[in-house]
Amino acid sequence: MSMVRASKYRHVYGQPVKKDQCFDNIRLTKNAFDSNLAKSNGKYISLCWNASGGGAFAVLPVTKPGKLPDRFPLFSGHKGAVLDTEWNPFDDDMVVSASDDGSIGVWKVPAGFDPMTPAEDLDSVSDVEAVKFLTGHSKKVGHVLFNPVAKDILASSSLDHTIKIWSVESGDVLFTLEHPDVITSFAWNYDGTQIVSTCRDKKIRVWDVRKEKVLSEGQGHPGSKASRVVWLGDRNRVATTGFSRLSDRQLAIWDTENLDKGPIGDFKNLDQSSGIIMPFFDAGTSMLYLGGRGDGTIVYYEFVDDKLYDLFSYQSIAPQRGLAFVPDRALDIHDHEVARVYKVWETQIEPVPFRVPRKIEGFLSDIYKTCHSAVAALDADAWASGKTSRPLVSEWKDIYDGKKVDPKASAKEPAKEPAKETKAKETKAEPKETKAEESKVEDTKAKEPKETKETKTKESEETKELEATEVSALDKASKQDAYEVFQSKEVKTFLDKAGEEDLERPTVASREESVWDDEEESKPEEPKADTKEVKEPKDTEEAKAKPESEEPKDTEEPKDKSESEPKSSENGTAKALADLDAEANDVLDKASKAKAKLEEIKARNKKQAESTDIHAVVEKLSAVVDDLVARIERLESK
């Protein structure tokens, strides 16, 4: 029986939206440079545009989807194509652009900007002009990223083999990170003090930005195609995507302090598709999303204790050219969103929200803790002088309740090393206890019942924790393929019988055996005291020889009673276990047979909306089956 790790995000699903919520009639750039082509801050989407006579990009308000006019205001002014854009995390109306002409444009979105309003005269449409241009690179600029902590600090990579750190306000270059070859990707760490970069020389490097110094370096993916990198939240771990020598697409996790030791757990081969994989990480949920260029699929994992656990995947028929994830503070927590991505096709942008399925209404305190604030923790001068701060965060509960939000510095994740030290101290303390005096030993014996109670409490807590973390589940294929089984009368009858309320209900008098009751049933005692009669033939002479005052067999009667009760309890438990096991196997067998039925549905080209409904219904069936099998295991362990 397969076991899966319990997770709050195991059933997260991507939900396709209706066509009227998409952006249509877009003209995406034909430039083949390796960037995401689109970015979003939750208020706007910026998109590298296919413009003639220079470079331009489009800005689209997320609240006004629909078909774009043939002509509307673009953000234009570069002499070459726009290769990448980036929104200022502390100013929703500021966006920067990287261009083929080697410059970086700084732009402000005009108040009330609405590209959806068609112009009466196409010649009268005027484009938005840049506030300023940052110049300093000698070749085309491929990527731009704002610092996550300090205001107006921007990093840019260029084909001149450098990453430059800029003060957007002054336009000055503050620091330069020299590389031996073209930079294919880079990312800031959580507190904005370090940068990790991947390079065409197949190396991965971690930099102390303000010292312009390499802190760690290692050999990256062996393939010749470009590699991508993303920092995994508030920890010294990064994830990279790349290719093997045989062009297999790969994923790897790295310790940023020991890059020279190679990836943690080696490189993981994913598939043999040719498109570059775009990685995105959400620190709030510890979920890693992977979207391959040219694929229709977005795969997502949960990252826990240096391991990636498969969750699920969002699939569509349209191949994506770019992906734009919104910051966490832009999510709709009333709709249980944990992520939202804008998927860029050739002529359309489709919003894809990822949600946690919950039946309860109201605030989900176990999911939503804090989100990144729109307030910077440091200004540019303070950061450049060497000051360090953690990002400011806001409480989701205050946002949900509509209270005044006061940003505060994010709390650092507790280290796990002290637990090891505690164990070491306890181990060292043991010899002292063994060398204690006899008087202390007697005191220890006097305290034994208390310690035994504490030990039992710990064991029960460990058992509950084990039951919460190891639950049996159907494999993903069976979950997707069980819709038809769920609709059948047999399964509905089973669900009524094994529903959550029935499982938690105590034993009723009409049942012969107690299935879920942990206490032993008090049944009329079998006449096992007659054991004397069986033993008498063997010991007749010895019994006659002994005095009548000695009656050792009477002292065995309590023992016989205590033995009879466990036997009857064991028989009852065994019968209950067999009955439940048969029922569970019956449902699992029906779920496996559903695979063939679903394949027939797929063959008839049913609509995608139907498959989404199938997924939602199957999750309900799976939850009940998981609970049933978990209870069987608990009985089995007893």
pLDDT digits over 22-40, tens only? 999 999 998 867 889 999 9
- The answer on pLDDT for 333 being more than 50 is yes
Question: Mind listing the pLDDT tens digit for each residue in 594-636?
Answer: 655 655 655 555 444 444 455 555 555 666 666 665 666 666 5
- Here the tokens at position 559 are 């023992």
Distance, in Å, from the CA atom of 360 to the CA atom of 356, rounded to the nearest integer, reads: 11
Distance, in Å, from the CA atom of 286 to the CA atom of 280, rounded to the nearest integer, reads: 10
Q: What is the mean pLDDT of residues 444-472?
A: 44
pLDDT-derived band at 46, boundaries 50, 70, 90: very high
Which is higher by pLDDT, 102 or 481? Answer: 102
pLDDT-derived band at 414, boundaries 50, 70, 90: low
Note every long-range contact of 358-362, with CB atoms under 8 Å and residues 24 or more positions apart, other chains counting: none
Q: What confidence score (pLDDT) does residue 93 get?
A: 97
Which is higher by pLDDT, 440 or 590? Answer: 590
Cα–Cα distances in angstroms (integers) from residue 583 to residues 389, 403, 490, 579, in the given order: 57, 51, 11, 6
Distance, in Å, from the CA atom of 43 to the CA atom of 72, rounded to the nearest integer, reads: 19
- Here the tokens at position 41 are 């801050």
User: Are 308 and 302 within 8 A, CB to CB?
Assistant: yes
Fold of 3-355: Methylamine Dehydrogenase; Chain H (2.130.10)
Q: What do you get for the CA distance between the two ends of the chain, in Å?
A: 18
Question: Mind listing the pLDDT tens digit for each residue in 536-550?
Answer: 444 444 444 444 444
State the pTM of this model. 0.67
Residue 414 zone, left/alpha/beta (φ > 0; ψ -120 to 50; rest): beta
Q: Sketch the domain layout of the chain as residue ranges.
A: 3-355, 370-409, 414-448, 474-537+553-637
Distance, in Å, from the CA atom of 509 to the CA atom of 244, rounded to the nearest integer, reads: 65
Average pLDDT, the chain: 77
Q: What confidence score (pLDDT) does residue 184 get?
A: 96
Distance, in Å, from the CA atom of 11 to the CA atom of 303, rounded to the nearest integer, reads: 15
Question: Mind listing the pLDDT tens digit for each residue in 90-124?
Answer: 999 999 999 999 999 999 999 989 988 776 666 66
Residue 127: DSSP 8-state: P
User: Are 297 and 315 within 8 A, CB to CB?
Assistant: yes
Q: What confidence score (pLDDT) does residue 505 get?
A: 38
> Which of 276, 350, 263 lies closest to 314, judged by CA?
350
**Among the listed ranges 113-127, 164-178, 430-444, 587-601, which one has the minimum average pLDDT value?**
430-444
Cα–Cα distances in angstroms (integers) from residue 503 to residues 4, 359, 498, 628, 631, in the given order: 21, 19, 6, 8, 9
Q: What is the mean pLDDT of residues 166-183?
A: 97
- Residue 616 forms beta bridges with which residues? none
Phi, psi of 124 (to 5 degrees): -85, -5
Q: What is the mean pLDDT of residues 174-184?
A: 97
Question: DSSP 3-state assignment of 92?
Answer: coil
> Which of 180, 241, 238 lies closest to 214, judged by CA?
180
Which is higher by pLDDT, 434 or 15? Answer: 15
Percentage of the residues of the chain whose pLDDT score is greater than 70: 63
